[in-house]
Amino acid sequence: MPDKDAGTPRVFIARHGETEWTKSGQYTGITELELTAQGVTQVQNSGRVLVGPGKLIDPSRIAHVYVSPRQRAQKTYELLFSSPVDASKNVSTTDRLAEWGYGEYEGMVTSQIRALRKEHGLDTERPWDIWRDGCEGGESAQQVTDRLDDLIKEIRSFQVNHMHGEPGPADIVLVAHGHLLRAFVKRWLGYPMEFPLSLMLEPGGIGVLSYQHHNVEEPALFAGMAFPTPSSLNGQIG
């Protein structure tokens, strides 16, 4: 990492690998689906390159891993960390990382949702946008905001004491879902859900969040980062 960022704790966001509904574009909330063979490969490849001693996500530097309760996220965690994270008690399942509750829209694609809402007399002036309108019978944007803000508060209350590379693990890993993790990024940066921040996170992909200027009040998103050699990496990630 750049010298000015050395020692600043990270939050790594990991999306689960591909499922059949990921391929078809169907909204998958509470439905339990297994990873496809391609989904398993996606996660294994990410883990092989990014996870391990001396790599970007070094298990010895992880303070806590939070995992969605959904089966596809649990499997993704197992594949990413082929060897367990040190102090396995620091891995927890939390409903705060469950995918957005889609309610009546579970299993639908966007075009079907918009047609259904038209039948219900909704969206007469503008098309449905989950970030603004939420889901009938499911979660509103505010409900998702509330549970993510609670998790962010918990993470920052810990990381505030590790802003300058203080001894001990300080990185956090989140293993969850496409909509939910993009929502997490918006809230991490302090934006409301409806803020037009277009984000992409591929199945099996990993993103990185941190802080500017070693300041917990300046949360940031890594839009791009250079990867040092393994020997220099060991002393740079806090």
Domain-embedded: residue 78: yes
Binding-site annotation: residue ranges for substrate? 28-29, 72, 99-102
pLDDT tens per residue, range 67-87: 999 999 999 999 998 765 544
Domain-embedded: residue 231: no
Domain-embedded: residue 37: yes
Q: How many domains in the chain?
A: 1
Pick the closest to residue 182 from 228, 232, 131 (CA basis): 131
64 tagged catalytic? no
The DSSP H or E segment spanning 12 is strand 11-15
Q: Two tokens at 132? A: 């603004």
Mean pLDDT of 10-30: 97
pLDDT tens per residue, range 160-210: 999 998 989 999 999 999 999 999 999 999 999 999 999 999 999 999 999
Domain-embedded: residue 193: yes
Binding-site annotation: residue ranges? 28-29, 72, 99-102
CATH number at residue 38: 3.40.50.1240
32 tagged catalytic? no
Q: What residues pair up with 220 in beta bridges, in sequence order?
A: 210
Q: 206 is in which domain, residue-wise?
A: 11-221
Domain-embedded: residue 54: yes
Q: Is the pLDDT of residue 57 over 80?
A: yes
Domain-embedded: residue 227: no
Contact present, 238 and 52 (Cβ < 8 Å): no
pLDDT tens per residue, range 76-124: 999 998 765 544 558 999 999 999 999 999 999 999 999 999 999 999 9
172 CB neighbour count, 10 Å cutoff: 23
Domain-embedded: residue 66: yes
- Find the range with the poorest average confidence among 23-32, 96-105, 149-158, 216-225: 216-225
Domain-embedded: residue 228: no
Residues 6 or more apart whose Cβ sits within 8 Å of residue 171: 9, 10, 11, 12, 57, 58, 61, 62, 63, 237, 238
CA dist 83 and 95 (Å) reads: 24
Give the active site residue among 99, 106, 177, 214. 99
Q: Is the pLDDT of residue 5 over 90?
A: no
The reported pLDDT for the residue numbered 234 is 45
Give the torsion sign (CA, 52, 57, 61, 63). negative
Report the phi/psi class of residue 203: left, alpha or beta, with left for phi > 0 and alpha for psi in -120 to 50. beta
Q: Two tokens at 44? A: 């294994």
